Amino acid sequence: MNSMEMQRFDENRHSSREFIEMCNASIGINYGQIDNSFGSGMIEANKFGEPYGLYSKNFELWVGEKDSQMQGFVSLVKKRGGSSKIKALIVNPSARGLGTGSQLYKFAMDQLGAGGARKVYGTDAFIDYPTIKYDLLKGGFEIEGSLREPYKEGVPEIIIGRMFQRGIPAQTIAPTRKPKSEGLDVKVSEFQEQDLLCIREIVLNMMPDFYGDIDGDFVNRMNLAHQRYVKQGIEYSAKPRIMHVAKVEGQVAGVGLFAPKRGGSAKLSPFLVAPQFQSSGVGSALIEDIESHAKELNIRRLYHHFPSCSIISQLFFTKHGYLPEARIREPYSPGVDEIVASKFLK
Ligand SMILES: CC(C)(COP(=O)(O)OP(=O)(O)OC[C@H]1O[C@@H](n2cnc3c(N)ncnc32)[C@H](O)[C@@H]1OP(=O)(O)O)[C@@H](O)C(=O)NCCC(=O)NCCS
């Protein structure tokens, strides 16, 4: 067995150019809008953590070396709530078929298990059977669902996950009866900094039961991400996010934030209506506004994830045309599965 040494990526030791080219060559095939910023983004995140992440907390890029040659790498994203994502596991074409990938997987799984991760997950292009086969057999994953063309038109993805620990299944939450009122006068606008305190309260009140590690830092990152959009527009590598706020008589009633991704999708999360304003048309006004803005920005697909136990969310997103694509096992909190649902905007 050719044994490798694992090292954190280090620019003084490894060639950034070689790494970036490996990313472009392997990942660029099934993913749209991959350029040098994809690989260099991983090098940056490995050094500085995930300064722009919302659900992502930390990032590690590990290189497998033999005789000082890069044989391959594996990158791990630590998420809030105790799960991790394998963002990429790539073996240098010259080192394929020698057990390198298995060693990278073994290292990654040992590393995650020892670090207390509850689960690990990843996605694969559905048209890439060799990679799917490899990941299911060598990584010990199970299929959890699919995503409709998230990163490139014409290329569906599957979500694969492996559980290290399971929680107690969350109880189904049925909505309370809808009030008979005619609905409220809702105004939706782009986020302004004066709304931040109210948004903070909504997020910290609603999310922690279903999402781990939701704190003031999460809310600050929502704010900073929107500021990056205001200053730089949609520049994927800067991870901008766009926040809309729904108000009733000047009071903040709901918030939605969407993150444009490479390849034309945008992730809508969080999307929340404060409990005292629910079931009165606030969520509908907010999502309609967000969809029309996303369309203007040329986003072709919006997707959202919500706790599977929330029946009100199932009804709301079904009514608005979001097709459920996956049920992800306990990604953000023990016992709370998430439904991913998406809608094509054009
Ligand atoms: C899901 C949510 C965004 C919807 O926003 P909303 O302002 O309440 O929704 P609207 O009033 O615009 O209602 C639109 C649709 O939502 C669903 N809905 C809303 N309230 C409902 C209720 N009390 N009973 C059944 N369906 C309901 C229905 O599909 C409704 O369509 P209908 O009017 O044809 O029945 C909002 O209720 C929310 O944030 N809920 C919290 C969900 C949650 O707890 N998530 C976990 C914490 S993060």
58-66 mean pLDDT:
95
pLDDT digits (tens, 9 = 90+) for 104-156: 999 999 999 999 999 999 999 999 999 999 999 999 999 999 999 998 999 99
Is residue 175 within 6 Å of ligand 1 at its C-beta?
Answer: yes
pLDDT digits (tens, 9 = 90+) for 77-88: 999 999 999 999
- Residue 18: is its pLDDT beyond 70? yes
Helix, strand, coil percentages (3-state) for the chain, rounded to 5, are 35, 30, 35
Radius of gyration of the chain (CA): 21
SS3 41: helix
- Mutation to probe ligand 1, out of 214, 286, 311, 315 (largest number of atoms < 8 A from CB): 315
> What is the model's pLDDT at position 154?
92
> What is the model's pLDDT at position 31?
75
Is residue 280 within 6 Å of ligand 1 at its C-beta?
Answer: yes
> Chain centroid to CA 247: how far?
27
Rounded to the nearest 5°, which phi and psi values hold at 206?
-95, -35
Is residue 278 within 6 Å of ligand 1 at its C-beta?
Answer: yes
SS3 204: helix
Is residue 184 within 6 Å of ligand 1 at its C-beta?
Answer: no
Tokens of 215: 């704190």
pLDDT digits (tens, 9 = 90+) for 290-324: 999 999 999 999 999 999 999 999 999 999 999 99
Q: Where do the domains of the chain lie?
A: 5-163, 186-344
SS3 82: coil
- For the domain 186-344, what is the CATH superfamily, name and number? Gcn5-related N-acetyltransferase (GNAT) (3.40.630.30)
CA distance 164 to 170: 18
- Residue 97: is its pLDDT beyond 80? yes
pTM score of the predicted model: 0.94
- Residue for token digits 């920005």? 297
How far, in Å, is the centroid of ligand 1 from the Cα of 341? 15
CATH class entry, domain 5-163: alpha beta
Q: Within 13 A of 46's CA, how many CA atoms are on the CB side?
A: 22
pLDDT above 70 covers what percent of the chain?
Answer: 99
**b (16+ CB within 10 A) / e for 240-265:** bbbbbbbbbeeebbbbbbbbbbbbbb
> What is the model's pLDDT at position 2?
57
CA distance 143 to 336: 17
- Residue 29: is its pLDDT beyond 80? no
How far, in Å, is the centroid of ligand 1 from the Cα of 304? 14
> What is the model's pLDDT at position 235?
87
Atom of ligand 1 nearest to the CA of 279: 11
How far, in Å, is the centroid of ligand 1 from the Cα of 144? 26
Atom of ligand 1 nearest to the CA of 274: 39
Q: Which residues contact 46 (CB under 8 A, 6 or more apart)?
A: 8, 9, 59, 60, 61, 75
pLDDT digits (tens, 9 = 90+) for 220-272: 999 999 999 999 999 888 899 999 999 999 999 999 999 999 899 999 999 99
Helices and strands in the chain, H and E counts:
8, 14
**Residue whose CA is at the smallest distance from ligand 1 atom 4:** 283
CA distance 256 to 266: 12
Averaged pLDDT score across all residues of the chain: 94
